[in-house]
Every structure is written in structure tokens, then in C-alpha cells.
Amino acid sequence: MAWVPRFVTLKLKRVVNEEKSRVVKTNDLHFLGFTFRGKKIRWSRQALEGFKHRIRRLTKRSWGISMQRRLRELRLYIQGWINYFGLSEYYRPLPGLDEWIRRRLRMGYLKQWRRPRTRIRNLIRLGTRTRTAVSLGLSSKGPYRLARTLATQSGMTNKWLEKQGLVSVRERWIKFHYA
């Protein structure tokens, strides 16, 4: 550690912050939101938690903005996050994140369609069978729980959400790595 600050200061003309700087094995290194496991680069746990926190804020039920604006803000954030963290070779949590984001959006739509009549009418318009739409419309369960039912998933399909403007984290990661 003694020669690193001297090299960085003299050759690279940079100031080294002694409190933040340290010499560690690569498996213990957290740098700019990434961790390193052997030869693999992954986003850090804190970066993933920050991503989830921001998604929660963008898909909040009580946020009084239109779904078009909400989807636009969500799309911009996801694209930016993947453009930065897409370098990571860690794929495993991405399908689960996509499912979770879609569920939160379905919850937002159900919250917007407050009244049972509106929920039933919109779900039937989207292609849900009448009986399942009526059972969802008359249910006393909350929007987050109802967002995972057959009625909402058969009406608000993944393809329909994509047409509304939702961007898939998984698809963006695949495009980043295998374009």
C-alpha cells in the first residue's frame, strides 16, 4: 500500500484518499457498484437493493401520475441501469425481477380501476373471461394480491404490458450481452 499512493500521485497526477483506499483481494472488492468473484463481474448487493428501492418508488400505488408517464420513467430508469450494470455476468435474478416489476404494474392498473365495475369492464375488454373478471372485481383482496391472479394475468398479459411501454430487464441484459 505504500507505493500505490506515491505512484498515483506522481505518475497519474491524482490525489489518493487514504481513508477510502485499501489493498484487498478481488473477492472482497466492491467498486462503483460492482463486486468481483474470481474472473466474474457482478453488481453488488447494495446496487441491486438500490434498483429495487427505485422500482418501488416508480411503481408506487399512491403516486398520482398517469400510467404512461410512470411507464416512461420506468423505461428510462431500467435502460440506464442496464446500460451501466449490464456489464455484470450475473443473470440469475433477472427473470424474477421482471415478474416482480410486471406484478407491481398490474397492481397499479388495478388501483387505478378502483371500482369493481371498472375493473370488470376493463379486464373483459382486455380478453379475460367474464366469470374470472367478475370474481376479481368482487374480491375484497388488495391490489398487490390480485395482481397475481389468473384474471389479471390473462387480461394484462406480458405482451400487453410491453405494448404499453414496459421494458424487460432480462431482454435488455440479453441484448447487451448477445447483440
Q: Tens digit of pLDDT for each residue in 22-32?
A: 777 777 778 88
Q: Report the mean per-residue pLDDT for the chain.
A: 90
Average pLDDT over residues 34-61: 91
Q: 112, 128 in Cβ contact below 8 A?
A: no
What are the C-alpha distances in Å from 136 to residues 97, 114, 126, 153? 25, 12, 14, 11
Query: Pick the residue with more confidence: 130 or 32?
Result: 130
Q: Which three cell numbers stand for residue 65?
A: 401520475
* Rounded (10°) CA dihedral 137, 124, 75, 91: 80
Taking every pair of Cα atoms in the chain, the longest distance, rounded to a whole number of angstroms, is: 75
Residue 68: the pLDDT is: 93
Residue 28 CB coordination number (10 Å): 9
Strand partners, 42: 35
Angle between helix 67-85 and helix 45-58 axes, rounded to 10 deg: 170
Sign of CA dihedral 39, 43, 44, 45: negative
Tell me the three state secondary structure of residue 35.
Answer: strand
Residue 15: the pLDDT is: 85
